[in-house]
Amino acid sequence: MSSLAISGGMPVRREPFPSWPVTGTADREKLLEVFDSGKWWYGEKVREFEERYAAFHDAKHGITCANGTVALEVALLACGIGAGDEVIVPPYTFMATASAVLKINAIPVFADIELDTCNLDPEDVERKINSKTKAVIPVHIAGLPVDMDAFRALAQKHKLALIEDACHSWGSKWRGKGTGAIGDCGVFSFQMSKNITSGEGGILLTDKEEIADTARSYTNCGRIKGGAWYEHYLMGSNLRMTELQAAILLGQLERLEEQTLKREKNAAYLDEQLKNMPGISLMKKDARVTRRSYHMYIFRFLPEEWLGVSRDKFLEALRAEGIPSSAGYNIPLYKNPLFQQQGEGPRYCPISCPYHGQGMDYTQVVCPNAELISREGCWIPHTALLAEEQDMKDIACAIRKIWEGRRELAGI
């Protein structure tokens, strides 16, 4: 009989990992308080959450909105990015990092990532900068902050807006300061899978009052501080968060630090267990990262050491052993159909739009590291990191078991 669960053997574990979201009495009480009040729309709870979340991230201003995607769009607009401007983004991220640029009629330009962090490579970013470049959006992938020292220096040198896509980094800190307001501004998502969630929702953080006021106007139908209710100064939209969402987030926020520290502790344990494990490569650590949120635990699967076993087959075997895991982003963004199609007309603008003088041919884009990690990346979700040390032992044991059974898995 096979030893591997994928072939009929006994799995390492049958017990489930923690479910998500985690809720408690505080969430219920705050939600019912708003529900019973009948004041469901954009008021005291929203303001309270904005203030508390900004303080949690060492930021001066917080502006909530409907979700993380529109938070990125608002951030770009608030930083003065517009039609025809180029914005450098990574290709190893969720679609919104690039689609937000397209939505404001600007042009995303892809720079490669660092293979040992999965984060945007500042050296490749600098190679992509030209006279049209107006902003860069580094993403703190899996909660690991990018090299903010390097990006702040780049932004200052080339007079670029620096917008942090912090949608994986609730609670992460760089040199003791929370992510989000280290650059000009940063955005977070509270979508259902996130480490703090209200089903949907987002927030923009900044230390700059002008950006905060402009962002507020864009999310609040173009109104401004001190203006009359029916006076609209910008082409804003209704992107506001509700009191019900804010009530849930206030409850979630009460346990976010504790959960963040637990994920960080369990990830450190996994690092210790797996650091000498053949066939996989862990992400690099940076002493300037003083806290890390871990939206997922990422490692690379090195296929050349696995006797022909594919990454996807390895992950299938890992799930069979009872360990939740996935391939994550399995293609770089520029290989999505949106960027690969060619044509004319509004559907293709600004990808192929005469308004900008020339079309962008994304079929010619190559970012070798992003393509490699898309083939080799393995994700363990943040929910697993809320378990106990014994559960981390099970994860390491399952990976080790599959390594020892790799000949069987390869069919040799």
Tokens representing 308 are: 């022909």
Active site residue 245: no
CA-based nearest residue to 359, from 339, 335, 332: 339
CB 308 within 8 A of CB 410: yes
Q: Of the residues 168, 173, 300, 382, which is catalytic? A: 168
223 catalytic? Reply is yes
Angstrom distance (rounded) from CA 197 to CA 22: 10
Nearest to 114 by CA among 83, 81, 72, 150: 150
Of 280, 314, 302, residue with least CA distance to 4? 314
Determine which one of 121, 165, 184, 394 is catalytic: 165
- In angstroms, rounded to a whole number, what is the distance separating the alpha carbons of residues 11 and 319? 9
User: Using CA of residue 297, residue 280, residue 319, residue 94, what is the dihedral sign?
Assistant: positive
What is the sign, positive or negative, of the torsion defined by CA atoms of 48, 52, 53, 58? positive
| b (16+ CB within 10 A) / e for 74-98 | bbbbbbebeeebbbbbbbbbbebbb
Paired sense of beta strands 280-282 and 296-301, if any: antiparallel
Tokens of 241: 């968060």
From the list 39, 152, 232, 240, the catalytic residue is 240
Would you call 240 a catalytic residue per the annotation? yes
Does the active-site annotation cover 314? no
Could you say which of 14, 36, 159, 230 is catalytic? 230
User: Catalytic: which of 42, 49, 56, 94?
Assistant: 94
Give yes or no: 168 in active site. Answer: yes
The candidate with the shortest Cα–Cα distance to 174, out of 119, 134, 103, is: 119
Contacts from 258-263 at CB under 8 Å and sequence distance 24+? 259/22, 259/195, 259/386, 260/170, 260/171, 260/195, 260/291, 260/293, 260/294, 261/291, 262/385, 262/386, 263/195, 263/293, 263/294, 263/382, 263/385, 263/386
Whether residue 230 lies in the annotated active site: yes
Which of 116, 132, 152, 191 is catalytic? The answer is: 191
Q: Is 265 noted as a catalytic residue in this protein? A: no
| Catalytic-labelled residue, pool 57, 223, 292, 313 | 223
Residue 275 designated active-site: no
Maximum alpha-carbon separation in the chain:
76
Residues recognised as catalytic:
94, 165, 168, 191, 194, 223, 230, 240
